[in-house]
Structure 1
Amino acid sequence: MADNKQTILIVDDTPANIDVLAGTFQNKYRIKVANSGKLAIKIAQMSPAPDIILLDIMMPEMDGYEVCQILKSQPNTEHIPIIFVTAKITAEDEIKGFQLGAVDYITKPITPLVAIQRVKTHLALANQNRELYVKVKHQTEEINKTKLEVIQRLGRAAEYKDNETGLHVQRMAQYCHLLAIAAGMNEADADLLRDAAPMHDIGKIGIPDGILLKDDKLTAEEWDVMKTHVNIGADILFGPDNSSVLQLAHTVALTHHEKFNGKGYPAGISGEEIPLVGRISAIADVFDALTSPRPYKKAWDTEDAFALLIEEKGEHFDPILVDIFLQNKQQILEIKERLSDL
């Protein structure tokens, strides 16, 4: 039969005090003990963690206040309710303990019924808080998932208007993520770029169909209009209270047509003046555009597309990022195959 008892960690440097507390709770709870602050921290960090900690204050080397402060500062133990068990109990002591994160005090010598009831109360509160945390976390995840889906679908809307498929934005986003990680970006920031990249051409929504869908080469005047999709996209994505993904999407939309040599648009910035996410997006976007079929062109062979990236090192593209992209050819081709339009 499974043991469903909750666990109490008793921390005291005096064996007699441990015996008293263990004897009070052993019939209803699983008991763990520690005779020092260091051992208490070690036990609390083990899995499964104790459900509650009864912590003496006056201990050598590391007192209870320090133990409490350390446990409350670590993500894997901050949720564990701590009750100080001590004979030293002044108003200042109580305030200090509560400020450090303790939930209650039990005074020595303990009154068993009082101690049992306080532990029972705080375990019940901890369970309620844990259930509320799980519920709120689930709701937050659902909200974030919905927001991300809306962002991705807006990005696809621009591609459909341009006679492209939603798979273009997915491939481009995956290329960006791969290149970002390979270039040394941390995983969280690379994930954010992957989520933001599909919005890079959202501004195409504002370009007249006669220009956007034209089969022939654009005139100089038409090209000037086409280039405004960058600013249109940046305007759509700009906002004072933007989420982090929309802030990054704004940067990507505004800078993915800049060139390393300064001859891009809209600002004509060059080199590392171009944000890293813009330099990454430029490579990912151009590579996928070249290797994807369009009504007005056939798809390039991947080796020809790689060759163009090499040719444009230091001109259109960041040369270091091009080298890193080429070093990851196999993974690039796997993404292309997995997200193929056909």
Structure 2
Amino acid sequence: MFENVRVILAENDPLNLGMLEQMLQQFECTLIKAGNGQEVIDAISAHPQVDLVVMDLNMPVLDGYEVLRRIKQDVHWHDIPVVMATADGEEVAAVLELGANDFLAKPFNLCELRHRVMNQIRNKRLADFASNTNAVLEMEVAKRTAALQQALARALQSEYEISLRLGRAAEFRDQETGSHLKCISQLSKRLAQLARIPGEECDLLYFASLLHDVGKIGIPDAILLKPGKLLPDEFETMKEHTVIGGKIMSGARDYPVIEAGRIIALQHHEKWDGTGYPYGLKGEEIHIFARVVSIVDVFDALLTERVYKRAFTVEETTAIMMDESGKAFDPQLLELFFEHVDEFLALQGRIHADAVSVASITDIIR
């Protein structure tokens, strides 16, 4: 009927014990006898895969109440069915309240005894089957989840590689500024982390910031590579790199990195006070990604030599950028950035100490 059934039997009365043994033999079970309550606990400890405990309420050392309480309060044992044998009707309610699964009224009725025991063993086996099935399902879910996470990681890596190579397309046009792509990527992610932007968005920014200047592909060399300050009409043409970048990455809302890159490309030259380009966005109208990138982009550009400028010192860079707090830059983000400037300098890794004259942001970042 059932295979490998294990039953712990604790009964003081020899006559009742004989009846229980005779009945349990019908199930071809392994019978584990216990002479007192402590032996019941010891037997369960030694045989955790028990299918049923049949126990007299009145036992020495530990009575049935205490044994039942310990079984039902133990996280590893509470699912073991316990059938209590008692001759007192008032005791039935007490043991059921403590968690007993069933009771046997003395004197025993063999037919009733057989059915009650059989029901409890059946219920235990069904519960074990359900538990094992759930465990198998959980393992399968874990495997599939791990596989999905690996696939997502590969997809993100692919997006990163595509973004990096698309960003490098601008590098071939503007080799002296394109080399800072990875630096902008790392600094942007770190500033976002310090600003307590959610982790997934920090990773997204890490990828998307690579695309901030991709629109420079569409700017003529005579303007893009011109040493010195641009003429007004040349500067108007230079401004178009934001719109060009936005157009290159338009229509990709199903691809988070490209969509974030589009927003950054369009907005990273917007200014906190509304005097930026191309749309004159103001304050928090500017996406947080673009506000982050604008800070690290300017920071890296000021410290780096370009065809139209020498490298600025750290002190000069700090002074210029802090002067633009609340004008070009989000003041809270900028303050946070300079609270951790040593960390950013370490990440940026290219500190220049050349003494240069103070210049405006417009003259430095075109």
Same fold at TM > 0.5: yes
CA contact (8 A) 1:313 1:319 kept: yes
| Aligned-partner SS, 1:155 | helix
Q: Mapping of 1:16-31 within 5 angstroms?
A: 22-23=49-50
Structure 1 unaligned spans of 5+: 1-14, 26-32, 44-52, 64-85, 88-106
- Distance across 2 between alignment mates of 1:55 and 1:200: 63
Residue 185 of structure 2 is aligned to residue 148 of structure 1: no
The aligned counterpart of 1:286 is: 298
The aligned counterpart of 1:189 is: 201
- Distance across 2 between alignment mates of 1:328 and 1:256: 21
Could you tell me which of 304, 314, 330 is aligned with 1:318?
330
The aligned counterpart of 1:35 is: 72
Residue 282 of structure 2 is aligned to residue 270 of structure 1: yes
- Distance across 2 between alignment mates of 1:23 and 1:265: 75
CA contact (8 A) 2:163 2:211 kept: yes
> Counterpart of 1:22 in structure 2: which amino acid?
Q
- Distance across 1 between alignment mates of 2:314 and 2:226: 25
Residue 239 of structure 2 is aligned to residue 227 of structure 1: yes
- Distance across 1 between alignment mates of 2:195 and 2:135: 47
Change (3 A) 1:237 1:23: same
CA contact (8 A) 1:204 1:229 kept: yes
> Counterpart of 2:218 in structure 1: which amino acid?
G
Change (3 A) 1:184 1:110: same
Change (3 A) 1:197 1:133: same
The aligned counterpart of 1:200 is: 212
Q: Return the offset for 1:199.
A: 0.9
- Distance across 1 between alignment mates of 2:181 and 2:243: 19
Residue 257 of structure 2 is aligned to residue 245 of structure 1: yes
Could you list the runs of 4 or more consecutive aligned residues of structure 1 that deviate by over 4 angstroms after TM superposition? 18-21, 53-56, 111-129
Structure 2 unaligned spans of 5+: 1-39, 53-69, 82-95, 103-118, 353-366
Could you tell me which of 134, 148, 155 is aligned with 2:146?
134
The aligned counterpart of 2:107 is: none
TM-score of the pair, normalised by structure 1: 0.64
CA displacement 1:12-31 (0-9 Å, x = unmatched): xxx99x96982259xxxxxx
CA contact (8 A) 1:24 1:116 kept: no
> Counterpart of 2:285 in structure 1: which amino acid?
E
Q: CA RMSD in A?
A: 3.7
The aligned counterpart of 1:180 is: 192
CA contact (8 A) 2:345 2:351 kept: no
Change (3 A) 1:176 1:141: closer
Q: Percent identity of the aligned residues? A: 33
Q: Return the offset for 1:120.
A: 6.2
CA contact (8 A) 1:163 1:294 kept: no
Residue 182 of structure 2 is aligned to residue 170 of structure 1: yes
- Distance across 1 between alignment mates of 2:71 and 2:243: 63
> Counterpart of 1:35 in structure 2: which amino acid?
K
- Distance across 1 between alignment mates of 2:135 and 2:312: 64
Q: Return the offset for 1:108.
A: 4.2
TM-score of the pair, normalised by structure 2: 0.60
CA contact (8 A) 1:170 1:339 kept: no
Q: Return the offset for 1:158.
A: 1.5
Change (3 A) 1:121 1:161: same
CA displacement 1:151-207 (0-9 Å, x = unmatched): 122123223321236541222222222322333323332232222111111111122
Q: Return the offset for 1:289.
A: 0.9
Change (3 A) 1:166 1:185: same
